Amino acid sequence: MYKIVRKRFLTPSIALMDVYAPRMASSAQPGQFLIVRVHEKGERIPLTVCDFDREKGTVTIVTQIVGASSRRICHLDEGDSFVDFAGPLGQPSEFLHMPQEELRSKRFIFIAGGLGTAPVYPQVKFLHQAGASVDVIIGAKTKDMVIFEEEMKAVCDNLYICTDDGTYGTKGLVTDLLKELLDSGKKYDQAVAIGPMIMMKFVTLASKPYNLPLIVSLNTLMVDGTGMCGACRVSIGGKTKFACVDGPEFDAHLVDFEEAMRRQGMYKNVEQESDHKCKIGLNS
């Protein structure tokens, strides 16, 4: 059993939990995910690793209430336990393999949409500790949906926030803010976007005229998390890949977003009406 040692709600529908899982905490890396089960007959739910503390032996997850299973997770309290907490799974972010001297010479920009801010945080934290220069854009529907603001400020060079309704930060979309930064003369060696599929698609389109390398995370497609169910099958550069095994991160300019969005839409109604998984970044 994997005990919840800390829990707090970031918004009325988004819960953060620190779970005692020392073996996973000792090996987890930014970009990876894990699978939880609330009880013996519960379904397997893939969630992105949000943070980890190797000394305390804890792994942090963030879950948004979307369907029945995510509601059960969010209703757990401190002291409760998961029957399964398996991982880390998937491939770590590719920049973890770069020499530290190379990282120090690069400038990164992360574009986080809604709940996608949670998996962005450990990557930004890692790069900050490695000495890289990192800017972050957080996009949300309203001020109340902005998460990880203070945590992100502590590990990035510049934090930009935009909301759809203008209740906080800049009013508008993350793509508008990204183009504004690039047009102002900001130069970046690598961009990373994590959030709703439609957001990542338009960030990809916006970055293309600037020849900006972009990585996206297709964690929203995962269901089984092992590659056996085939739900996360997607075309990358014309080749079939599985988000849970080969990813979840891929070169955005090679992703067939139309196919990915069709596949994601196949499970949306089931997810909301039954015990289906909470997909990270489904809602901004």
Condensed to tens digits (0 to 9), the pLDDT of residues 217-231 reads 998 887 766 667 777
Task: Quote the CA–CA distance of 240 and 212 in Å, as a whole number.
Answer: 24
Task: Quote the CA–CA distance of 140 and 137 in Å, as a whole number.
Answer: 10
In the chain, which stretches have pLDDT less than 70?
224-227, 266-284
CA atoms within 13 A of residue 246's CA, in its CB half-sphere: 18
pLDDT in tens, 117-165: 999 999 999 999 999 999 999 999 999 999 999 999 999 999 999 999 9
Pairing of strands 58-64, 14-20: antiparallel
Mapped onto helix, strand or coil, the DSSP state of residue 214 is strand
CB 168: neighbour CB atoms within 10 A? 17
> Under 8 Å CB-to-CB from 9, ≥6 apart: which residues?
15, 16, 74
Residue-range domain boundaries for the chain? 2-89, 94-217
| Per-residue pLDDT at 30 | 94
pLDDT in tens, 185-203: 999 999 999 999 999 999 9
Pairing of strands 14-20, 2-11: antiparallel
- 255: DSSP letter: B
For 55, counting Cβ atoms within 10 Å of its Cβ (0-12 exposed, 13-18 middle, 19+ buried), the class is exposed
- DSSP H stretches of helix in the chain: 22-27, 68-74, 100-104, 117-130, 149-153, 174-183, 197-207, 243-246, 257-265, 268-273
Q: Is CATH 2.40.30.10 correct for 2-89?
A: yes
Q: Is CATH 3.40.50.80 correct for 94-217?
A: yes
